[in-house]
Structure 1
């Protein structure tokens, strides 16, 4: 026989009805078009939670990518405060503090240092090698134990598509874009030109051709014996080093994160404009409950770590010894635009996301 007083039963029933009403209100107030819908499924609470904006990097991405402006700021400050660097007069033509190897304030102030010659000058080759090693060796792409029981051709194809887009941005900015690369076009638009430095009489004909503006790229100017002067020279070194590092960290970072079973806090906009977590579109074979530690990065991931480490070191050396602060800032901004277009834009453009995918998904 139930000895519970009737008043207690009534109070309990009222609390239950009130809790259900609050839950229905919370669920109904979650508009599909709202960028920050409340969620009770993951927290077990009726307190609404805010998703990260699909239009911006996540807090984790922001913290990692903040490394690049921090290196540039530290290097620029060091170049101002270091007596050794200040004593070496900055040459705007060569964009460095080293007019002659014997006068260089440090080994990495010389453009013929080994890392600059064999690594930075061939930077995209090493970036591609590291990326290829990663996608060919990591379980997420090749299947097998720890990869959910099989490989995913779609993940491999979308990863290669993103590499092609980032490579296209690097090529158009620094190598060729239906003529001079974009960085050289910008230099000329801001008043730059190729000035003749050869003084011998037998070079007068070549000098006349140079003065008429027939040389439209820094490489052609240097090959013809001229000097690239006058305009705003976006730092190609900063652009390439940040673009390479951002690309590799984005590709490896999210694969590693999901492979270890960590929460993916990216948000995406669906075709019906609803904002959801990136996991809703993830390949089921990418869901992790924790992979083997030795598989988290694999051999290719370690190669990526080496390339990113060298990139960061040379970015610091560039910040200390080469280019003006504004040229370094514009190089950083140009690379950030390319990275945003490939890794953030697809999060709120579903049609683009179907083509390029998301790393780790």
Structure 2
């Protein structure tokens, strides 16, 4: 009798434990969710951090910088030829590679005009992609699809503004030029030439404090920390296009499930899919093939990203010091974080900026 009573008590206790709800935990979780078939899927529950897919893609850029630094140190060709550490220019006849010359075609036609290529790619993508211009479908009284474009334009304005502040103009000299002077850099020109330029009013004293004016006066930047504008531009532009084209295409064509999480106005953390366009009433065709999903605008953006990654590798091998390249990477990361990660945690900002593909 005692044994049967004990056994019954254990079964009741076991059923009680199975039926009781799990203890309340924090709303943010990065633990895998296990399914009945024994598989598990990673669920990103922190809106303030990149998703797993984003981390994999972002890891490419510091990896390129690390590889380039190791290659330039190990390679006899790069170690045997000295170059100007500020202008990063090799003598043309001694350059260890065609891409180590600043007059190589990709540098002249692509990198020097990098933001124009990025801008053309973005607008070609937005106005030709089926993800932004799907076959007409009506949800209630709203035609879905067109509402994605304003957010893409606003995000382009944000990253463009950051590019201008860092490399072109920041209420005077750009951040790159200001940083160079704040770290002890100056324009070294022939003193008589520099004095003549200022005296004759060809440029003002303030303008001489920029890299462009220094070069125009026949001088060279010397002595300071030169944030790598190439790394900054190539990382900022490449990740910008990857975010815009990648999320919209992957979600539209069904290649990737939504990994992003957002903070709702009531403080709850939910999947970003709760803010996606509704799909009820869809009368259009099935999601397009890979080629049709990208469209020619997406393919152009993909080509720009590939060229950007290649020139990033060339910059990592042949130009600037490792610390200058690292600061270029960090400045690009700051602008990208403000544009793509910060809105996930701030509902008011997200209502203005939006998220790619949503």
Q: Shorter-chain-normalised TM-score: which range?
A: 0.7 to 0.9
CA RMSD of aligned residues (A): 3.4
Query: How do residues 298-309 of structure 1 correspond to structure 2 at under 5 angstroms?
Result: 298-309=295-306
Which residue in the other structure is 2:116 paired with? 125
Which residue in the other structure is 1:233 paired with? 226
Give 5+ residue unaligned stretches, structure 2. Answer: 1-7
Which residue in the other structure is 1:79 paired with? 72
Say if 2:130 is the partner of 1:139: yes
SS across alignment from 1:103: coil
Q: CA deviation at 1:142?
A: 1.3
Which residue in the other structure is 1:29 paired with? 24
Q: CA deviation at 1:348?
A: 0.5
Which residue in the other structure is 2:3 paired with? none
Q: 1:88 to 1:355 in 2, by over 3 A?
A: same
Q: CA deviation at 1:115?
A: 0.5
Say if 2:202 is the partner of 1:206: no
Correspondent of 2:178 among 185, 192, 199: 185
CA contact (8 A) 1:139 1:146 kept: no
SS across alignment from 2:262: strand
Alignment partners' CA distance in 2, 1:132 and 1:212: 39
Say if 2:343 is the partner of 1:346: yes
Say if 2:288 is the partner of 1:292: yes
Which region of structure 1 is more displaced relative to structure 2, 293-302 or 137-146? 137-146
Correspondent of 2:324 among 327, 332, 351: 327
Alignment partners' CA distance in 2, 1:37 and 1:71: 28
CA contact (8 A) 1:141 1:151 kept: no
Which residue in the other structure is 2:84 paired with? 91
Which residue in the other structure is 2:261 paired with? 267
Q: CA deviation at 1:114?
A: 0.5
Which residue in the other structure is 2:161 paired with? 168
Query: How do residues 36-47 of structure 1 correspond to structure 2 at under 5 angstroms?
Result: 36=29
CA contact (8 A) 1:257 1:264 kept: no
TM-score by length of 1: 0.84
TM-score by length of 2: 0.85
Which residue in the other structure is 1:110 paired with? 101
CA contact (8 A) 2:262 2:271 kept: yes
Alignment partners' CA distance in 1, 2:321 and 2:300: 32
Number of residue pairs matched?
341
Alignment partners' CA distance in 2, 1:130 and 1:20: 55
Which region of structure 1 is more displaced relative to structure 2, 284-293 or 100-109? 284-293
Q: 1:175 to 1:204 in 2, by over 3 A?
A: closer
